[in-house]
Amino acid sequence: MFYYLNGKITILDNNLAVVDCAGVGYACHCSTYTQSQLRVGEERRLYTHVNVKEDAFDIYGFSGREELRLFEQLTAVTGVGPASALAILSVLSPDQLSLAIMTGDEKSITRAKGIGAKSAKRIILELKDKLGGELDFSAGNAGAAVPVARDSGKVALATAALAELGYSQSEAAAALKGADAESMSVEELVRYGLRAMVMK
């Protein structure tokens, strides 16, 4: 269908952005995260997902391809529809959501309206392996970019997670030194690293 819409933002409303493309206004449902990056009157590109049903033709727009990918992965999870996926992406940025899934952080995901503990557990269970080889924690709230190779192991993912929380790569690496990576999950490694930081 549409891969993206490129045009002027003419209306911003509650989780809605209207993009004017050659005189046609396309109403795109969007997350709070995407909406915060848009300004009325600016030319912007929104990457789109189109949901066609018997009684509806809904367009979902995202400021980046990473958020679009996460939206599509969320909606593939049993019991998670477009509205729920959008609610999750409205309380967590793409990097924060990836981190929450990789570290098993149910609490962060349940901050989204309509998402309970069972749904959060299902999201983590179904998406954790899919995200494991794809994470690329970028600047976001953490400062400098932290590249993570596709074949990175658990220690690399834990290091990236700690960097996302504001620690430098050298601090994270030092904190994880001595951890039994083979027997520990990524979440356990992150907790190990945080404890090591506190004990310093």
Tell me the DSSP string of 122-172: HHHHHHHHHHHTT----STTTSS-----TT--HHHHHHHHHHHTT--HHHH
Q: Give how far Cα 23 sits from Cα of 8, 19, 61, 182, Å.
A: 10, 9, 18, 58
pLDDT tens profile 55-114:
888 999 999 999 999 999 999 999 999 999 999 999 998 888 988 888 888 999 999 999
- pLDDT value of position 200: 62
Quote the mean pLDDT of the chain.
84
pLDDT classification of 137: cutoffs 50, 70, 90: very low
- pLDDT value of position 132: 56
- pLDDT for 145 beyond 80: no
Q: What letter does residue 68 receive in the DSSP assignment?
A: H
- pLDDT value of position 120: 95
Q: What letter does residue 64 receive in the DSSP assignment?
A: S
User: Model-level pTM?
Assistant: 0.68
Q: What phi, psi does 25 have (nearest 5°)?
A: -95, 115
In order of their start, the domains of the chain are 4-62 (2.40.50.140), 65-132 (1.10.150.20), 134-200 (no CATH)
**155/162 Cα distance (integer angstroms):** 10
- pLDDT value of position 166: 74
Residue type, 52: V
- pLDDT value of position 27: 96
Average the pLDDT over 128-155 and give the result. Answer: 50
Token pair for 87: 């609610």
- pLDDT value of position 152: 42
**107/29 Cα distance (integer angstroms):** 25
- pLDDT for 48 beyond 80: yes
